Structures are given as structure tokens and as C-alpha cells.
């Protein structure tokens, strides 16, 4: 739980508390969500702010499809606010216009496979221009530089990403990866521990921390980190498979009925086997 949540817990409606608008203006959408929750903001306002918080977290995690769903939820909440609280709707739209964010997310999704940094930056122009996606766009360019063995350019892009979004844990992870590849093991270890402070369940950081520890001869700690990475990886794979199935059901409602039909048929088969066993 954050200090923000502790300090404002139980704030009655109408009394002063943390201002979600101030956090929103600075692009801290998770803190804006916490402030809106603690001060019992209008439900549609809370829905809009929560959706943007989810989008920001999904972009940091490179879950672009999920971020698109969050954008749809934000746009829906914004329409409701337009009818009742136009001032808050106008503020949110001035900070994050849905159509502009849609272009930024599309740029991130369509930039894969580019091998030239200049061309990649061109494709990512819309993403780099938007506050919610700028750090991720810089991180993507940094990854390409790293793949091209251009450590200086890669480090510059990752560090620039963190100046725009200090919570972008994958950019910090990539700085650790540069140190790991260069043999700067204590620096890599420190970077991975910083990543885990931001994202405790990030399996990749646990794994790479284990590698950095092993190369320093810290075998006991290394085994623990890698085992935790494996557990989290399995859990993550199951969650992603479940999310993908739910998304398929959302896109094609007929699949739900097909699944129910299969389950019903399975139950009938089990009942017949049980009846035959008793006869």
C-alpha cells in the first residue's frame, strides 16, 4: 500500500484529500486513481482515471492489446462524463484525447520488425509524441540499438525513457541487461533489484537477477531467484491463456455456447459411464 493510500484512508466525501487532478496533470495515473478512490470521486470520473491507470501499466508491460481495451473503457467513461460533469471531462480530454492515444497505441503495435533505428523512430512518431506512450517508444528504440550492439545509443534511449516515466520498469530492466552483457555484475544486480521494487512479480527480472548472482558466485541466492522466476512464469502463462480465451469469447460470443455444449456433452458421457458401471 502506498503512503498516499495510508494518509488519505477514510476521507469523507466533501473533505479535503489528495487531489487526483494534480496527479493526472503530472501523468501519475496510478496515484490519480488512488486519490480519486480515497476522496470518493464521481463514479464515471473514477472509471475514466482507473482506465488510464490500467493503460499506463499495460503499456509499461508491453500489453498493447490490453491497453487498447483500457482505452475503450476510458472513452466510454468520458462519454458519460460529457453528459454530467463537463468540466472534468474537458480536463481529462485535454490530458488524454482518446483518438490521439489510439494513434499512439497503434504506432507501438505496428512498429515491430523494423531493423533501422531511423525508420523505427519515424513509425513511432505518434507514440513518442504522447505522454502515456513516450517512454515505451524510447524503450523500443533502445532495444533495437541494443540488438545492433550499439550500447551507447541504447543506454541513452533507456535513460531518456526513465526521465519521462521513472516507473517504466522494463526500461530499467534493459539498463541492467546492458550491464550484465558488459560484465558489470554488481551494477546489473542493483538494476534488477530496482526493477523488482517497481514490479515484484516480473519473472524476467527475477531470472536475470539469478543470472547476475550466479556469475558473482552467490549460488544460494541465485537458485532462489531463478526458482521464483519459474513459478511466476507459469502463473503468468496461465493468466495470459485465460485472458486470451476471455478475449476470444468477447470477440465471438458463439464460442461461449460451443464451450457450454462441449461441457454438457462431457457431463452426459460421464453420467452414461456411471450408469453403465452400476448396471
Contact 78, 89 (CB under 8 A): yes
Choices 3.90.76.10, 2.60.120.260, 3.20.20.300, 1.25.40.10: CATH for 166-279: 1.25.40.10
What is the widest separation between alpha-carbon atoms in the chain?
Answer: 77
Q: Record the cell numbers describing residue 248, joined without a space.
A: 476470444
Q: Tell me the C-alpha distance between 273 and 279, whole Å.
A: 10
* Sign of the dihedral defined by the CA atoms of residues 254, 256, 257, 262, in that order: positive
Query: Average pLDDT of the chain?
Result: 87
Indicate the domain borders of the chain.
1-96, 111-164, 166-279
pLDDT tens string 122-174 = 999 999 999 999 999 999 999 999 999 999 999 999 999 999 999 999 999 99
Mean pLDDT of 36-57: 95
DSSP result, 99-116 = HHHHHHHHHHHT-TT---
| Residue keyed to cell 522494463 | 170
- Strand segments (E) across the chain: none
Choice among 43-47, 109-113, 122-126, 271-275 with the minimum mean pLDDT: 271-275
Quickly state the pLDDT bin for 114 (edges 50, 70, 90).
confident
Q: Tell me the C-alpha distance between 154 and 162, whole Å.
A: 13
Residue 1 reports pLDDT greater than 50: no
Question: Around Cβ 64, how many Cβ atoms within 10 Å?
Answer: 18
Which letter does DSSP use for residue 12 in this model? P
Our CA dihedral for 101, 104, 106, 112, rounded to 10 degrees, sits at -150
Contact 157, 145 (CB under 8 A): yes
- Strand segments (E) across 7-94: none
The model's pTM: 0.80
Question: Around Cβ 268, how many Cβ atoms within 10 Å?
Answer: 10
Q: Record the cell numbers describing residue 154, joined without a space.
A: 541504447
pLDDT tens string 86-111 = 889 999 999 999 999 999 999 999 99
Q: Distance between alpha carbon 26 and the CA centroid of its chain, in Å?
A: 18
Helices (H), 130-182: 134-147, 151-164, 169-181
Our CA dihedral for 9, 12, 15, 20, rounded to 10 degrees, sits at 50
Q: Distance between alpha carbon 30 and the CA centroid of its chain, in Å?
A: 11
| Residue keyed to cell 460470443 | 253
Task: Give me the pLDDT at residue 22, please.
Answer: 95
Residue 270 reports pLDDT greater than 70: no
Helix (H/G/I), strand (E/B), else coil: 247: helix
Task: Give me the pLDDT at residue 227, please.
Answer: 96
Q: Tell me the C-alpha distance between 132 and 126, whole Å.
A: 11
For residue 139, give every residue at least 6 positions away whose Cβ sits within 8 Å of its Cβ, in sequence order, or none.
Answer: 157, 158, 161, 168, 170, 171, 174
Contact 86, 122 (CB under 8 A): no
Task: Give me the pLDDT at residue 172, please.
Answer: 98
Q: Record the cell numbers describing residue 167, joined without a space.
A: 516507473
Percent of residues, the chain, with pLDDT higher than 70: 79
Residue 268 reports pLDDT greater than 80: no
Mean pLDDT of 171-196: 98
Amino acid at each position: 500500500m502506498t503512503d498516499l493510500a495510508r494518509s488519505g484512508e477514510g476521507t469523507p466525501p466533501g473533505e479535503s484529500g489528495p487531489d487526483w487532478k494534480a496527479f493526472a496533470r503530472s501523468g501519475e495515473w496510478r496515484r490519480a486513481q488512488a486519490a480519486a478512490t480515497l476522496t470518493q470521486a464521481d463514479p464515471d470520473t473514477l472509471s475514466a482515471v482507473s482506465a488510464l491507470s490500467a493503460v499506463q501499466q499495460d503499456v509499461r508491460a508491453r500489453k498493447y492489446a490490453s491497453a487498447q481495451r483500457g482505452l475503450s473503457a476510458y472513452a466510454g467513461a468520458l462519454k458519460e462524463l460529457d453528459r454530467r460533469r463537463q468540466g472534468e471531462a474537458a480536463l481529462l480530454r485535454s490530458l488524454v484525447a482518446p483518438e490521439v492515444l489510439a494513434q499512439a497505441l497503434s504506432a507501438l503495435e505496428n512498429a515491430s520488425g523494423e531493423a533501422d533505428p531511423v525508420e523505427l523512430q519515424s513509425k513511432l512518431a505518434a507514440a513518442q509524441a504522447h505522454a502515456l506512450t513516450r517512454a515505451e517508444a524510447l524503450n523500443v528504440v533502445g532495444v533495437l540499438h541494443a540488438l545492433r550492439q550499439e550500447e551507447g545509443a541504447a543506454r541513452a534511449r533507456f535513460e531518456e525513457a526513465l526521465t519521462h516515466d521513472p516507473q517504466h520498469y522494463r526500461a530499467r530492466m534493459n539498463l541492467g541487461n546492458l550491464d550484465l552483457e558488459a560484465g558489470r555484475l554488481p551494477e546489473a544486480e542493483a538494476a534488477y533489484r530496482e526493477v523488482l521494487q517497481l514490479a515484484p512479480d516480473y519473472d524476467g527480472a527475477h531470472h536475470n537477477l539469478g543470472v547476475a548472482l550466479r556469475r558473482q558466485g552467490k549460488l544460494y541466492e541465485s537458485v532462489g531467484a531463478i526458482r521464483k522466476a519459474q513459478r511466476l512464469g507459469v502463473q503468468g502463462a496461465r493468466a495470459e491463456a485465460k485472458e486470451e480465451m476471455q478475449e476470444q469469447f468477447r470477440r465471438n460470443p458463439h464460442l461461449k455456447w460451443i464451450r457450454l455444449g462441449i461441457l454438457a456433452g462431457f457431463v452426459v458421457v460421464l453420467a452414461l459411464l456411471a450408469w453403465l458401471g452400476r448396471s
